Structure formats: structure tokens, C-alpha cells
């Protein structure tokens, strides 16, 4: 018995050592080959992320396509960027540079134009969430991806939350707590104007065409993305939504609160999205037939099996952000499959959001 225990311990240590070596191998590869990217648009406030990554040497920006000279001047000054980086259009930029990928930081409705410009040149694209405003746009995108064999990924902040991955692994890899029965995702904050989003961002974020809606699109996409992932890439059987306009004086043209109910065989998901909450929140709750998990934020997890709650330590992710993951996909180190960023997942996300808007408008359940 003692010998078996020693052998088991040695094997565990060997596995841990192998995992550590693998982690540092990927880390070394990522530093050895920094991605070279093009940037499409500057009117999305998430662009500060890529510009800070550029500032810290985590990525090489070969060019930035932005027609608005006021925005160009602003970012030139704030990040000490040279004139040589800027182009007045995406087409012009792609005539002069050959990036590994193009990252889109523009209105959601403009994502299709980015894919249309990049795909024929064999250039992969990563857009900020959600992928598109309509399923008509996603059908065109999917066609271009298949025709030109590129990658089309969608970046969500919550993809890089170790807590979410840990909950997924507990449910799908360990299989300890039973089958998923109920999922609840809260995503929202006080409102984009209230938290100080830039005027250029607000201009399209609160436009029913350019953003496709308000909170239902801006925050509803997080829940649709996570629940589709938890359900192994399956679309729901039906979608029912209640979309409200609580602050019409602040957001006259779009909704600011949405509740979306997703029905699956044997399971149900609730997406709660709002620009009306007293604080910012992005959390995930999963009920199985034997346990309850609550990813409170990016790192903290609560578990309850019977009566008492107890904390679970989240594990670090192999890919810490969108750039690390994008690089791994482009280098063939990982297949997106049904990952949170994958095209397959996000085609379903847009279907859900479109059905949610239809459900709220018609006052009925929409069958998918």
C-alpha cells in the first residue's frame, strides 16, 4: 500500500511538471513570435486594450484604419503613435501591410465590411462582441470564412475569466456534480453614459442599426455566448425575451434592459442584461441536479452541494487574453471548435439575440 502511494505521488508530480513545462513552452513561443496586426476602427472604447498591449510590446501594430481625423489625432496624442501607422480606409491599409490578422474596433454593423475586405486576402479577423447585428450578416460572414479558409473569432471579456473556465471544467470534464439543469448570467452596469463611455462609442452603441439594439445586444451577448458554450454548442429549442425601456430620456432610441429565457431539452438558461444596475457585474450561476456553482467575477467561485457554501480556487488559464488565444489559433496550436470565441458559437449567439428581439416585439416565444 505504501509503495502504491509513493508511485501515485510520483506520477502526480510528473504530470504537474509536464503541465508546467507545457505552459512555459507556449509562453516562450508567444514571446518569440509576437503577432503583427492591423486595427480596423477607433470608435470602440475597447481599442484601449490593444493600444496598451502595443505600448507594452505584446503585439506589433502594422497599421490603423480610421477615417475620422478627430479620433486619429486623439489616439496619436494619447499613445504617442506615429503618422505612418494611420490609413483613411481599411482597403488602403491592406494595400500596404500584410498582418497576421485584423482586429475590429468599430460599430457592430461594420464587422461584415471588415470580413469582406480581409477574407479575399486570406487575412483572419477578430471582432469585439457580438459578432454581428443580424443573422443575414452572419450568413455572409460564414460563407466568406468557408470560401477563403480564414479564422473569424469574437472577443468577449468573460472568455478570459478563469472562474468561468473552472465552472465549465467542473461540469463537463470532471462530471462530478451531475447534469446541467439551470444557468443564469448577469451582465450589466449603470449604463454606458453613466460610466463615462466616450462620445464616439456612445454614438453607435445607442444606435438601433449600428449596434442592433441597446442592452439586449451589448450585454445580452455575454449570456448567450456562455450558455451556448455550457450547452456544448447547441442552439436552444426556443427563445422568449422581455425587453424594457426604463430610461428613455437617456437612451431614446434603444432598449436598456433585457431578460432572455433559453429553453433546452432538460435545461433552461436565463440571460439578464441591463444598463440600469447600481454597479457593474458579469457573473455566472450553474445549477446541476447535484450541485450549485457561482462564478462571482473573474476569479472567485462559490460551490454548494448540500447546505453550506464553500470557495473554490480558480485555476490560471493557458491563454490569458485574446492575443494569446488568437496567436495559438493562427499557429494551429488550438482548434476553436465550439470555444467561446469560435465562429460556431457566435453564429448561435446572433440567432439568439435576433430571436430575443423578435420575441419581445411580438410578445411570444420564438421557436428555433
Q: Calculate mean pLDDT across residues 317-333.
A: 94
**Residue-averaged pLDDT of the chain:** 91
What is the pLDDT, as a whole number, of residue 232?
94
What is the pLDDT, as a whole number, of residue 1?
38
Element (H, E) at 259: strand 257-264
What is the pLDDT, as a whole number, of residue 20?
40
Prior bond to 178 cis, omega within 30?
A: no
Question: What's the pLDDT tens digit per position in 223-262?
Answer: 999 999 999 999 999 999 999 999 999 999 999 999 999 9
Q: Which domains does the chain have, with CATH numbers?
A: 32-157 (3.40.50.720), 158-319+336-367 (3.30.360.10)
How far is 39 from 60, CA to CA, in rounded Å? 11
Question: Is residue 13 pLDDT above 80, yes or no?
Answer: no
What is the pLDDT, as a whole number, of residue 7?
34
How far is 205 from 346, CA to CA, in rounded Å? 19
Question: Is residue 22 pLDDT above 60, yes or no?
Answer: no
* Look-up of cell digits 501591410: 97
Q: How far is CA 300 from the centre of its chain?
A: 19
What is the pLDDT, as a whole number, of residue 317?
85
Question: Is residue 131 pLDDT above 50, yes or no?
Answer: yes
How far is 281 from 297, CA to CA, in rounded Å? 8
Higher pLDDT among residues 101 and 25, named by residue: 101
What is the pLDDT, as a whole number, of residue 16?
42
Question: What's the pLDDT tens digit per position in 258-268?
Answer: 999 999 999 99
How far is 234 from 221, CA to CA, in rounded Å? 15
What is the pLDDT, as a whole number, of residue 46?
98
Question: What's the pLDDT tens digit per position in 138-170?
Answer: 999 999 999 999 999 999 999 999 999 999 999
pTM: 0.90
**Beta carbons within 8 Å of 26's beta carbon, 6+ residues apart:** 318, 328, 333
Question: Is residue 323 pLDDT above 60, yes or no?
Answer: yes
How far is 182 from 286, CA to CA, in rounded Å? 6
Q: Which of 301, 283, 279 is nearest to 292 (CA)?
A: 301
Contact 104, 94 (CB under 8 A): no
- Weakest mean pLDDT among 16-25, 204-213, 284-293: 16-25
Q: How confident is the model at residue 309 (pLDDT cuts 50, 70, 90)?
A: confident
64 bridge partner residues: 39, 86
Question: Is residue 219 pLDDT above 70, yes or no?
Answer: yes
Question: Is residue 4 pLDDT above 50, yes or no?
Answer: no
Question: What's the pLDDT tens digit per position in 60-88?
Answer: 999 999 999 999 999 999 999 999 999 99
How far is 286 from 266, CA to CA, in rounded Å? 14
The sheet carrying 300-304 orders its strands as 309-313, 300-304, 292-295, 281-288, 180-188, 267-274, 257-264, 238-244, 366-367
Q: How confident is the model at residue 176 (pLDDT cuts 50, 70, 90)?
A: low
Amino acid at each position: 500500500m505504501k509503495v502504491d502511494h509513493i508511485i501515485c505521488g510520483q506520477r502526480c508530480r510528473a504530470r504537474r511538471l509536464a503541465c508546467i513545462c507545457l505552459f512555459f513552452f507556449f509562453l516562450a513561443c508567444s514571446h518569440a513570435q509576437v503577432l503583427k496586426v492591423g486595427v480596423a476602427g477607433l470608435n470602440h472604447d475597447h481599442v484601449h486594450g490593444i493600444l496598451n498591449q502595443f505600448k507594452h510590446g505584446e503585439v506589433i501594430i502594422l497599421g490603423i484604419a480610421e477615417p475620422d481625423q478627430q479620433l486619429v489625432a486623439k489616439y496619436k496624442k494619447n499613445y504617442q503613435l506615429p503618422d505612418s501607422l494611420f490609413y483613411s480606409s481599411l482597403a488602403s491599409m491592406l494595400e500596404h501591410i500584410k498582418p497576421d490578422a485584423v482586429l475590429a474596433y468599430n460599430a457592430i454593423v461594420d464587422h461584415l465590411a471588415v470580413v469582406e475586405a480581409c477574407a479575399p486576402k486570406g487575412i483572419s479577423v477578430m471582432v469585439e462582441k457580438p459578432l454581428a447585428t443580424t443573422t443575414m450578416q452572419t450568413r455572409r460572414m460564414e460563407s466568406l470564412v468557408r470560401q477563403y479558409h480564414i479564422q473569424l473569432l469574437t472577443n468577449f471579456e468573460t472568455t478570459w475569466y478563469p472562474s468561468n473556465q473552472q465552472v465549465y471544467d467542473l461540469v463537463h470534464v470532471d462530471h462530478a456534480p451531475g447534469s446541467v439543469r439551470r444557468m443564469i448570467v448577469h451582465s450589466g452596469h449603470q449604463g454606458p453614459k453613466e460610466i463615462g463611455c466616450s462620445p464616439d462609442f456612445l454614438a453607435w452603441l445607442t444606435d438601433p442599426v449600428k449596434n442592433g439594439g441597446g442592452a439586449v445586444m451589448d450585454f445580452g451577448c455575454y449570456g448567450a455566448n456562455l450558455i451556448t458554450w455550457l450547452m456544448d454548442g447547441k442552439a436552444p429549442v426556443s427563445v422568449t425575451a422581455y425587453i424594457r425601456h426604463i430610461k428613455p430620456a437617456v437612451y431614446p432610441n434603444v432598449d436598456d434592459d433585457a431578460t432572455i429565457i433559453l429553453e433546452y431539452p432538460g435545461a433552461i438558461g436565463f440571460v439578464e442584461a441591463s444598463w440600469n444596475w447600481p454597479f457593474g457585474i458579469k457573473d455566472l450561476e450553474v445549477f446541476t441536479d447535484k450541485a450549485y456553482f457561482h462564478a462571482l467575477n473573474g476569479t472567485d467561485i462559490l460551490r454548494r452541494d448540500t447546505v453550506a457554501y464553500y470557495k473554490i480556487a480558480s485555476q490560471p488559464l493557458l491563454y490569458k487574453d485574446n492575443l494569446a488565444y488568437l496567436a495559438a489559433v493562427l499557429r494551429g496550436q488550438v482548434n476553436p471548435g465550439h470555444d467561446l470565441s469560435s465562429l460556431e458559437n457566435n453564429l448561435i449567439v446572433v440567432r439568439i439575440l435576433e430571436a430575443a428581439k423578435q420575441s419581445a416585439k411580438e410578445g411570444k416565444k420564438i421557436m428555433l
